[in-house]
Every structure is written in C-alpha cells, then in structure tokens.
Copies of this chain bind each other. A is one copy, B any other.
C-alpha cells in the first residue's frame, strides 16, 4: 500500500489529531495550557513508540524530546507546541481554539504555525511505522514551548542537553508552499542585531527659536544615521562586510534555479524598483546573501500629523535592525557600529541592544538536505524552490551552528494565505495530508541517502 493511500484512508484520524492539538490554547505565557499541550505531545509521541524525556531549564516551559528507532545515524526534528496570542479576537470568523473546516480549509490558531506541521509529521511517522516498521536510525523529536515568545531559553536547553540532541541532520520547523504551489526548502536563516540608538542632548525640550544657538539632538541623530549608509543603499559602518561569505558556484546554481516573480513583488510592495536597481540573479543574490541596516523606527519631538508645534526636542531615538549573513556575528557588528559612531563624532549616542541572533546556513548536499529535496521532487507536482537562507531569523543557529548539525527547513503546511500570527490562521486540509506524505518520504530517504 502506498503512503498517500494510507494517509487518505485515515485522513479523519489525522485531522482529528490536528483538531485535538488546535483545541488546546497553548499561547505564549499561558502556563496551564502550555502544560496541557506538552502532555498531549508527550502522549502522542509515546503512542508512536517514542521514549520521552522532558528537557527543563528554570523559568521555561519544558521542551519534549521523544526518541525512537535505532541505528548509528540519527535525525533531529524540531517543532514547537506554543502558539501566538489571538488578538484581535473580533476579526476571527470562528473561535481560534475551536477548529473549523470550511471549504477544505482548517481554521484555528496554530493551524499553520506550527501545530499543522507538527501533527502532519506525527501522522507521517505513524504511516511510516505502519508501512515499514521501526526506523533504521535514531529519530529525535524536539518540541519546544517558547518559540513564539522568542525562544529565549532555547539556547540554554540546547547547550544543557547538547549530547542528547546530537544528530547527523536536523529537519527544522516547516517552511511553506509558495503562491504557485511549489514546495519551499531553505537551508539557513539570516541573523539579527537589533539596537536602539538614543541621544539626549538638552536638559529639557526648548522653544524652537533657541535652535539658533542650542545644539539639536535630533539633527545630531539624523546626521549620525546618514553616515551609516551610502547613497547606493550599501552599509557604511566600517568593516560591516568583512566577514560576509560570498556565494560560491553551488550557491549561484541555486539562485539561477530559484523561481521569483519580481514584477509581482514590486506590485505588492508598491515600488518601481528594488534597492540598487537589481534584477534577475543579481536581485536574488542581494535578496539572500546581503545583510541590511534598516531603520525600524525613529522618533523625536512633536509628531501629530497635520499640526504644528515649535519645539526643539531634548532627545531623539532610532531603532536599527540589522539582518546578518554568514559569517557576520551580532556582537562584532554592534562593536563595529559603536566604533563607527565614535570615530564620526557620535560617541555620545547610546546603543541599547535587543535581539542577538547569529546567521546560519547549512549546505544542501548533506544527507538530510538530499533526502528532503529528493522526497519533495516525488511528492509535489512542482519542482521545489530551494533557497540558501530565509530572510527572517529563528533559533536555528543553536542547532545548526552551535551543535554543528546540518539543518533544513523543508516545505510545511503554510501558504502565503495562511494568516500566520494573524486572525483566521489556517491551512488547507489537502496541504496537511500532503505534508504527512512528504514526511513519510523524507523519513524513508534519510535511511538510504548518504
């Protein structure tokens, strides 16, 4: 019997599992619901033959580690059992924790991020066991409970249980299925250094007439910001690009094969060109391999639209978010920002640090890379879209970089229409079953691919 057939025959059961999982309101910070959800995961993994260990560090929900199979090689699978809050509740068309299927679409908080993937993978494991019995390698399901709150204790968990988590490959939380129905696979994530630049230059706000002699803190910050970027959009912080690894031949091949509708993206953004006027492979090279220095926010003085107040503000603040690529490191980049400001006469501007995520990427020719690619080619109707890194950031680096495990985020249930983190989060039932089938295939391929 084929995997796809077995899944379709048991679709009600597996969708039932998803309904159970999505009925538990395991939102970040909801201790009881998170506990209930971790028990659900534990029970389900146990029923699939796994041995369970709870990975604990102080002040964090337990992560669940379920281990099964036997053999010399091992594969780690990462998902999370917590979900985003549901506000604004009045924009939901059904209750977020009372799952509803309408026209083949499953609506609930967590349907796409990430209970849909988690349960599809559990279903895939169940089907694989029914078809093939025990796995010829060690499979470790690692399900954490704090991803939507920034995985703030995940590094502690990973470092404390490093030996238990060691593996030859890692399948990360699912990426998605794109507009055109292509399965997406990514092999890394950009890093992030997020800082607040803060400058107070006067004891109090002053009447703006005094700007004639009183140094303006706002001008000081604006002029400092202007030194951080060149007119072509490149970052001018001294040494910013020093550690950037250029794409190699295999990377360029990946880019040449990557499907991307530039016109559609320009339409969506409402722009007539991209930064640096790039197109084609140059566009994709910038898209995936360039770091950024973005102003996420800036504020000073009087900001009510359409009104005037003549004030010389005492202080000014800007938030910079810098997306980093291998082998940049957030600590080093912030130190370079500090040195740049000092050298340009802005030593008095204070830097407050927030996020601090290292960039990471794995090669696509690892065993798990090859397994997830070959399985995708068989299961989906369209060729996969393979990207070196996602543009965003996640805690992947603790596994892929700190533990040195080749990692891939293969196609998951979510589509651009899935409303992740938003009201009416959803996944298509058809996609859920397809991801279960895909899981059966990469579980199998990993056993045979070197």
Contacts and interface: CB of A to CB of B under 8 A. Distances in A.
B299 A298 contact: yes
Contacts of A269: 202-203, 206, 210, 214
Contact of A211 (B270, B294, B352): B294
A226 B229 contact: no
A300 B314 CA distance: 18
A355 interface: yes
A219 B321 CA distance: 13
A209 B190 contact: yes
Interface stretch (A126-134, A239-247, A271-279, A395-403): A271-279
Contact of A286 (B212, B301, B391): B212
B303 A297 contact: yes
Contacts of A290: 212
A225 interface: yes
Contacts of A299: 298-300, 303
Interface residues of A, number: 75
A323 interface: yes
Contact of A214 (B202, B210, B219, B274): B274
B308 A300 contact: no
Contacts of A88: none
A243 B229 CA distance: 34
Contacts of A229: 219, 223
A260 to B, nearest CB: 10
A298 B218 contact: yes
A319 B302 CA distance: 8
Q: Is the interface of A mostly helix, strand, loop or mixed?
A: mixed
A202 B271 CA distance: 6
The complex is assembled from copies of this chain, and their number is 2
A292 B212 contact: yes
Nearest to A323: B209
Contacts of A312: 294, 296
Contacts of A309: 296-297, 319
Interface in A334-349: none
Contacts of A391: 207, 209-210, 212
Contacts of A306: 196, 352
Given A226-B226, A308-B319, A355-B308, A392 B209 contact: yes
Contacts of A303: 297-299, 317, 319
Nearest to A290: B212
A317 B305 contact: yes
A208 interface: yes
A291 to B, nearest CB: 8
Given A202-B271, A212-B391, A301-B319, 7 more contacts: A196-B306, A202-B270, A213-B286, A296-B313, A299-B299, A299-B300, A308-B355
18 contacts: A194-B308, A194-B310, A201-B271, A203-B269, A204-B270, A208-B323, A209-B292, A209-B392, A209-B393, A212-B291, A212-B292, A213-B278, A213-B283, A214-B274, A296-B311, A297-B301, A298-B300, A310-B393
